[in-house]
Structure 1
Amino acid sequence: MGDTGVELGGPETESYSLILWTENSSLVNKDTISLIGPELAEAGSRSIAFGRIVILSIEGFTEENTFRRCREMEQMRFLLDLKGFMIRAVPQFQREWSRVSRDAISRGFSLGVLGSSLMRLFRELDYVTGSEIIFITENEDAIRKIRSLTGDTARIIAAMNKMAEEMSFDCSECEYRDVCDEAEDLRRMRDACVGNAARR
């Protein structure tokens, strides 16, 4: 691992990355960064489980723009330009693998620095009105628990991705049919996609 100080969410450990958004700004602890587990400098290993949950307050989302904006928010992490920090790969949906160099950690790089930089990027999006970030470095069990708590949300996002990417609207064959049946907003988004596809 060369100059690597800490590897976050590598392939041999648990990793979880999720962006949640709401139009109810009271649900977001604006400009708050929380950490469950040790900071990078106190990590007891060079490879640790890693979770990152971003909670955004947003405005102006419609059936037509939600997927595009969701993708835009997901891509913000790749705009990070922090010396000694590198996103290695995102091989699977809702995973993130990154590395922080020893030199960066010795110069004070922390998850607080990472979180603040992410928040600055999200502020550039005119539809984001506030952000909160939760990092989890405690252990693999903590990551698994967080993943199980947000499983329904993850399925909604996966259904939205499938709908937009595949442009397939055969609901009888879709593994996310139960999600759309329960999520009114997702049904409206699907109907908007069907209408757009028909006009092409």
Structure 2
Amino acid sequence: MHLYDNLIAESLELAENTGFRELPAGGHALWEAEAEQRLIFQKDMAYELGGGGLPAVSALAFTSLPAKADRLLLCGPDLPRLKADSPYARLTILHVDGGDWQDDQQAYRLLRQMEYTRYHVYPRGFMMRISTSAGREPVRVSREALKNGLDFTQAGRLFLEAYHRHPQVRAVTLLFVTAPDFPYGLLAEKAVRMEAVTNSLDQIWNNLAMDCRSCQLKPVCDEVEGLRELHFSREKGKAPTQAHQGL
């Protein structure tokens, strides 16, 4: 799985240029995870990440590049230091076993299971208000949770544990961003392109797009190395060449 690698590198470069710090990713999550999303009303809210007209970017990418361990990264102030609504972004990079992606049906199932996890982790006092159609992920943070010690380390570890319930996930890189000077617009563009790659895989694995002349996703295949070959190998009923196995 290398289809997202260029987008991953470009996204992490944005974080490097802004400046980030490593949060402790090891150990078990000590913060409580709710069984389902619980509402945080405005009267109980300390602030909202990505609230109002502020950026609220969410991005997910997959790669077979090796990673020694999980990483939690933060650009900007941590939750306890924020005093008002802030711009926000969350970038998730899943390092997966490349061999698990060579069978179409298995690959499609794994992709959807991991996407489901992305939106179904509920740290107490951290209410995600996700709009997949708008590509936004604002988060309400409760005053009580902050008082009890909620920060990105606690919330992040819950996400890490949830992703590791999938045995194909070898490591996770999770980036949170609250820096006011971060280029959220550029990351949002890359998030759209990541989603376009995922949608292309969806169509290819389900045999929904086989005519390049009429396919709306042709620009994605033109741009992403390996995607076009995967497309044609599916059309001809052949396995991908050795160079592109484990995309």
The two structures have a TM-score, normalised by structure 1, of: 0.80
What are the within-5 Å matches in structure 2 for residues 184-199 of structure 1? 184-185=226-227, 187-188=229-230, 191-192=233-234
- The worse-fitting range, judged by mean Cα deviation, of 87-96 and 162-171 is 162-171
Q: Name the residue aligned to 1:97.
A: 138
Q: Which residue of 1 aligns with 2:95?
A: 57
| Alignment: residue pair count | 192
Tell me the residue number matched to 1:40: 79
Q: Within 1, Cα distance between the matches of 2:236 and 2:50?
A: 38
Does 2:163 correspond to 1:122? Answer: yes
From 93, 103, 107, the equivalent of 2:148 is: 107
Return 5+ residue gaps in structure 1 as ranges.
196-200
Structure-2 separation of matches of 1:120 and 1:130? 10
Question: Is contact 2:204–2:234 with CA below 8 Å preserved after alignment?
Answer: no
> Does 1:75 pair with 2:113?
no
| Residues 89 and 54 (structure 1), Cα distance of their counterparts in 2 relative to 1, 3 Å cut | closer
- Structure 1 segment 134-153 matched on structure 2, within 5 A: 134-139=175-180, 141-148=182-189, 152-153=193-194
**For the residues of structure 2 that align with 1:6 and 1:120, how far apart are their CA atoms?**
26
Amino acid at match of 1:115: G
Amino acid of the residue matched to residue 52 of structure 1?
Answer: R
Letter in 2 for 1:147: A
Q: Percent identity?
A: 22
Identify the structure with the greater strand proportion: 1
Q: Distance in 2 between matches of 1:149 and 1:49?
A: 17
How much has 1:55 moved relative to structure 2? Answer: 1.4
CA distance in 2, matches of 1:89, 1:150: 14
Distance 1:133 1:104 in 2: 21
Which whole-Å CA distance do the structure 2 matches of 1:193 and 1:18 have between them?
29
What corresponds to 2:37 in structure 1?
none
Indicate the structure with greater helix content.
1
Residue 169 of structure 1 deviates from its aligned partner by: 3.1
SS of 1:2's partner is helix
The Cα offsets for residues 110-147 of structure 1, whole Å up to 9 and x where unpaired, read as: 11111100000011001001111111111274322333
Q: 8 Å contact 1:123–1:129 — kept in the other structure?
A: yes
Q: Return 5+ residue gaps in structure 2 as ranges.
A: 1-41, 238-247
Aligned counterparts of 2:202 and 2:57: Cα–Cα separation in 1: 18
1:11/1:172 Cα in 2 relative to 1: closer, same or farther (>3 Å)? farther
Instruction: Output one character per residue of 1:33-88: Cα deviation in whole Å (capped at 9) or x when no partner.
Output: 1100111111141x221111111210111251333322221211333232212222
